[in-house]
């Protein structure tokens, strides 16, 4: 367990769902204290105990409401469907001041999930920034990682593009990506999240056309030396 893991509490809002539970599992396994957030504390407690059972009680995973989880955590990860994005953010806004929000949302609009449909703010992450204001660092990650991978032990064949409102916040989130066992890349300012979020629809389209379940992306052509020096 790293020193970083011992110090940080991560809240996963909507952590009862597919993507959130998978990320919570990976961070708990890496030694982080994880809070599962939900609209229902009973549902959150159940999800937390399922993860604890998988990890044979070796980790700290606690279930509570979304606002309580956001209040108690250092870093807050949002994993709810786009239709619940604004409402969930507004319900925890006051607890996020001075913290980092990791937005995993791809702004998918049914029924055309395989078609890119960005919100007027430019992207879900930019919308989050508008809702939360300057006192919250908004970082995006994991939008292209299928939940199908996360509860398993095998290597995940998908890289994570991290965009965000400051370099410092992106670097912190890159450490959280590393803790999940995936490879993260600093993909620049929050405005670049439009591309990363849009890729989710492209991958859904590929899955639909080619009969796959977890198409992913990978960055190639960057020498190790360059990665180590960043």
Ligand X SMILES: NC(=O)c1ccc[n+]([C@@H]2O[C@H](COP(=O)([O-])OP(=O)(O)OC[C@H]3O[C@@H](n4cnc5c(N)ncnc54)[C@H](OP(=O)(O)O)[C@@H]3O)[C@@H](O)[C@H]2O)c1
Give the binding site for ligand X (CB under 6 A). 14, 16-20, 38-40, 43, 79-84, 87-88, 104-106, 108, 142-143, 145-147
CB of 221 to ligand X, least distance (A): 24
In this structure, are residues 148 and 178 in contact, taking their beta carbons and an 8 Å threshold?
Answer: no
Q: How far apart are CA 122 and CA 138, in angstroms?
A: 14
CB of 1 to ligand X, least distance (A): 26
Q: Choose between 8 and 106: whose C-beta lies nearer to ligand X.
A: 106
Neighbours of 196 (CB within 10 A): 23
Give 3-state DSSP helix, strand, coil % of the chain, rounded to 5.
45, 15, 35
CB of 137 to ligand X, least distance (A): 19
Q: How far apart are CA 96 and CA 212, in angstroms?
A: 37
CB of 27 to ligand X, least distance (A): 15
Residue nearest to ligand X (CB): 17
Segment (H or E) for 138: strand 137-140
The DSSP call for residue 96 is G
Q: Choose between 4 and 202: whose C-beta lies nearer to ligand X.
A: 202
Q: Choose between 30 and 89: whose C-beta lies nearer to ligand X.
A: 89
């Amino acid at each position: 367990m790293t020193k970083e893991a011992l110090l940080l509490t991560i809240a996963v809002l909507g952590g009862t769902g597919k993507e959130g539970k998978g990320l919570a599992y990976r961070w708990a396994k890496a030694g982080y204290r994880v809070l599962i957030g939900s609209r229902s504390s009973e549902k959150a407690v159940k999800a937390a105990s399922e993860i604890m059972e998988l990890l044979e009680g070796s980790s700290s995973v606690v279930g509570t409401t979304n606002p309580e989880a956001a209040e108690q955590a250092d870093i807050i990860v949002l994993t709810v469907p786009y239709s619940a994005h604004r409402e969930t953010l507004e319900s925890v806004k006051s607890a996020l001041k001075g913290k980092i929000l990791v937005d995993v949302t791809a702004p998918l609009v049914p029924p055309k999930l395989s078609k890119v449909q960005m919100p007027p703010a430019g992207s879900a992450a930019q919308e989050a920034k508008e809702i939360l204001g300057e006192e919250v660092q908004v970082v995006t990650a994991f939008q292209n990682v299928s939940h199908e991978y996360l509860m398993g032990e095998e290597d995940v064949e998908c890289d994570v593009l991290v965009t965000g409102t400051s370099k410092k916040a992106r670097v912190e989130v890159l450490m959280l990506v590393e803790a999940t066992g995936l490879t993260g890349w600093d993909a620049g300012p929050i405005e670049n999240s439009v591309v990363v979020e849009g890729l989710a629809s492209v991958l859904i389209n590929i899955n639909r056309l080619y009969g796959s379940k977890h198409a992913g992306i990978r960055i190639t052509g960057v020498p190790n030396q360059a990665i180590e020096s960043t």
